[in-house]
């Protein structure tokens, strides 16, 4: 009898243990599987978004090439193309470490250069490190996404300096931007630096990407000087030459709009909060729409013509403006931010023309002026519940000024924007000043954009060689075959 009781107890104990093991063992296995699945989804999401952002290089190339003259098209295409290659190397070697490495006083990152901590090889085993607060992303995936952003910042600059920048100078400043100037601002805002610690808001880059690119662009254009074509025979300032190919420019702008759906929604860095992705996507769309309509209507009120170029730049202005706040504002505010940006881009372009800085594609008006506006707009329209507060700060005070939050958030946004403008402006002045001192800022004076174009001098090529019979252009570097300046559409 006792043996039967002992056997029964053992069987009962074994049954209970089996149930516990099955329950908890299966749960743990399911959790591991769910975590792996979510990591795979998040990684795929971020990579696809990064591919879209990288494809924006094509949009910038098409837009710039369409807005400038045909005699400079090859130069614009090559600069936009090579900027991606230069930035990839510079950001991998130095920039990523400065942006996201261990912080030195909240000012600059100090490690992970050459992505030295991203992966390790030991005893035949490869280990991939995860990125900080995003355990579903490995560092290599995050690097690619951020590299695409870095490439955008330097590409913005080429537009303002189109048709007259020394090609070697372009290679040098693109490398410096990808390695140093852009990553420093990234560290301040996204890398845990001093602005992040104060609760500065910039979801996808109105400050980090567009203000940096726009301010660098206008400083470069000012030091570079205007194209010769901007002065008539009497020495008077001439209007901007007409765009050479508005079809190409339109395709470029539409590619950029599509690419922005990687830029902004991709900055969620994961798919866990689908509502946030939807909000960011909607605000991105409404911002672009508002900017397009505002620029088109404002220019029509002035010229009584429906102007395609203003509509294109207006869409980009709205996108730039809403980029910082797309995750922090309600949809109605996203539309307002874009609409104001569409007006601001026209006024900013007028101002740049009045002070006689030659910006062929309106790079500062689109990216600089509207990037600043988008940064400050969070301080006005930041939605309670969407904005955040740093440690020790009452979250209720972090709403926008117009939504009952007081001036606290606006003050932080102003400080962050001014600091970015000041640092970037001084850095750009030193960088371009040094290039000018060594004769690598402006292309040779042989290039007068009237009888000899930069495509002739630097590349010996034409985007339409059948319309430009070849001639010899003697340069200090070499004798190059080039196209005749008497081309159609120049």
- For the chain, the structural domain boundaries read 30-442, 447-490
Residue burial 310-333, b: 16+ Cβ < 10 Å; e: rest: bbbbbbbbbbbbbbbbbbbbbeeb
Tokens of 62: 């098409």
Measured distance CA(252)–CA(378) in Å, rounded? 28
Residues 270-310 pLDDT 10s: 999 999 999 999 999 999 999 999 999 999 999 999 999 99
pLDDT at 24 over 80: no
Output phi, psi for 418, to 5 deg.
Answer: -65, -40
List pLDDT tens digits, range 309-330.
Answer: 999 999 999 999 999 999 999 9
Q: Which residues lie closer than 8 Å to 76 by C-beta, 6 or more apart?
A: 61, 64, 65, 68, 158, 162, 163
Say if residues 361 and 67 touch (Cβ distance below 8 Å).
Answer: yes
- pLDDT, average across residues 88-99: 98
Confidence of residue 473 (pLDDT cuts 50, 70, 90): low
Alpha helices in 68-91 (DSSP H): 73-90
Segment 176-185, tens digit of pLDDT:
999 999 999 9
- Look over the chain and give the mean of its residue pLDDT values, rounded to a whole number: 90
pLDDT at position 2 is 53
**Beta-strand pair 103-104/134-138:** unpaired
Residue 294 near residue 344, CB atoms below 8 Å: no
Residue 484 predicted with pLDDT over 60 = no
Which conformational region is residue 437 in: left (phi greater than 0), alpha (psi within -120 to 50 degrees), or beta?
A: alpha
Does the structure show a pLDDT above 70 at 1?
no
Between 474 and 310, the higher pLDDT residue: 310
Q: Residues of 385-421 as b/e, b for ≥16 C-beta within 10 angstroms?
A: ebbeeeeeeeeebbbbbebebeebbbebbeebbebbb
Do the Cβ atoms of 387 and 412 come closer than 8 Å?
no
73-77, 139-143, 455-459, 473-477 — which is least confidently predicted?
473-477
Q: What is the pTM of this model?
A: 0.90
pLDDT band at 465 (very low <50, low <70, confident <90, very high): confident
Report d(CA 344, CA 418) in Å as an integer. Answer: 18
Q: What number is the average pLDDT over the span 25-39?
A: 63
Report the percent of the chain where pLDDT is more than 90: 77
Fold classification of 30-442 (topology level) = Ammonium transporter fold (1.10.3430)
CA dihedral 9, 12, 14, 19 (to 10 degrees): -160
Q: What is residue 218's predicted lDDT score, i.e. its pLDDT?
A: 98
Report the pLDDT averaged over residues 101-110: 96
Residue among 477, 245, 211, 169 nearest 323 (CA)? 211
Bigger pLDDT: 425 vs 480 = 425
Query: Pick the residue with more confidence: 6 or 485?
Result: 6
Q: What is the CA radius of gyration of the chain?
A: 27
Q: At what angle do helices 331-354 and 308-323 cross, to 10 degrees?
A: 120
Tell me the three state secondary structure of residue 331. helix
Q: Are 431 and 456 in contact (CB under 8 A)?
A: no
Task: Report the Cα 448 to chain-centroid distance in Å.
Answer: 32
Is the per-residue pLDDT at 450 higher than 60? yes
At 377-400, the pLDDT tens digits run 999 999 999 999 888 787 777 899
Mean pLDDT of 90-105: 97
């Amino acid at each position: 009898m006792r043996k039967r009781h002992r056997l029964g107890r053992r069987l009962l104990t074994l049954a209970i243990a089996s149930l516990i093991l099955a329950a908890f063992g299966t749960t743990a296995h399911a959790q591991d599987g769910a975590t792996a699945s979510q990591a795979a989804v998040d990684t795929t999401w971020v990579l696809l978004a990064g591919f879209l952002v990288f494809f924006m290089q094509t949009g910038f190339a098409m837009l710039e090439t369409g807005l400038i003259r045909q005699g400079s098209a090859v130069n614009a295409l090559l600069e936009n193309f090579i900027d991606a290659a230069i930035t990839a190397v510079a950001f991998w070697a130095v920039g990523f470490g400065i942006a996201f490495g261990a912080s030195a006083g909240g000012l600059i990152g100090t490690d992970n250069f050459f992505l030295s901590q991203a992966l390790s090889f030991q005893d035949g085993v490869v280990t991939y490190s995860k990125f900080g607060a995003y355990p579903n992303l490995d560092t290599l995936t995050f690097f690619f996404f951020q590299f695409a952003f870095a490439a955008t910042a330097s590409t913005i600059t080429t537009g303002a300096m189109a048709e007259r920048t020394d090609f070697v100078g372009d290679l040098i400043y693109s490398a410096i931007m990808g390695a140093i100037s852009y990553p420093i601002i990234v560290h301040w805002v996204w890398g845990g630096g001093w602005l992040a610690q104060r609760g500065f808001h910039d979801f996808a880059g109105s400050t980090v990407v567009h203000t940096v690119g726009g301010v660098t662009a206008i400083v470069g254009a000012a030091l570079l000087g205007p194209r010769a074509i901007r002065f008539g025979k009497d020495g008077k300032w001439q209007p901007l030459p007409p765009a050479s190919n508005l079809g190409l420019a339109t395709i470029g702008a539409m590619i950029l709009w599509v690419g922005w759906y990687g830029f902004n929604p991709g900055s969620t860095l994961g798919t866990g909060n689908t509502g946030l992705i939807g909000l960011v996507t909607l605000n991105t769309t409404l911002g672009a729409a508002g900017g397009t309509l505002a620029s088109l209507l404002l220019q029509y009120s002035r010229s009584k013509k429906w102007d395609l170029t203003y509509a294109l730049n207006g869409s980009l202005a709205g996108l730039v403006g809403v980029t910082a706040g797309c995750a922090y504002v309600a949809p109605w505010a996203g539309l307002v931010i874009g609409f104001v940006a569409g007006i601001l881009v026209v006024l900013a372009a007028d101002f740049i023309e009045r002070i006689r800085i030659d910006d062929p594609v309106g790079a500062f008006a689109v990216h600089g002026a509207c990037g600043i506006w988008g940064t400050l707009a969070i301080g006005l329209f930041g939605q309670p519940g969407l904005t955040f507060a740093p440690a020790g700060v009452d979250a209720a005070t972090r709403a926008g000024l117009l939504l009952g939050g007081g001036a606290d958030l606006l003050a932080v946004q102003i400080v962050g924007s001014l600091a970015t403008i000041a640092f970037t402006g001084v850095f750009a002045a030193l960088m371009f000043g040094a290039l000018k001192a060594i004769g690598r800022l402006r292309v040779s004076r042989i290039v007068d954009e009237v009888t000899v174009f930069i495509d002739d001098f630097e590349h010996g090529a034409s985007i339409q060689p059948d319309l430009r019979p070849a001639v010899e252009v003697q340069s200090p570097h070499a004798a190059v075959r080039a196209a005749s300046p008497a081309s159609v559409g120049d």
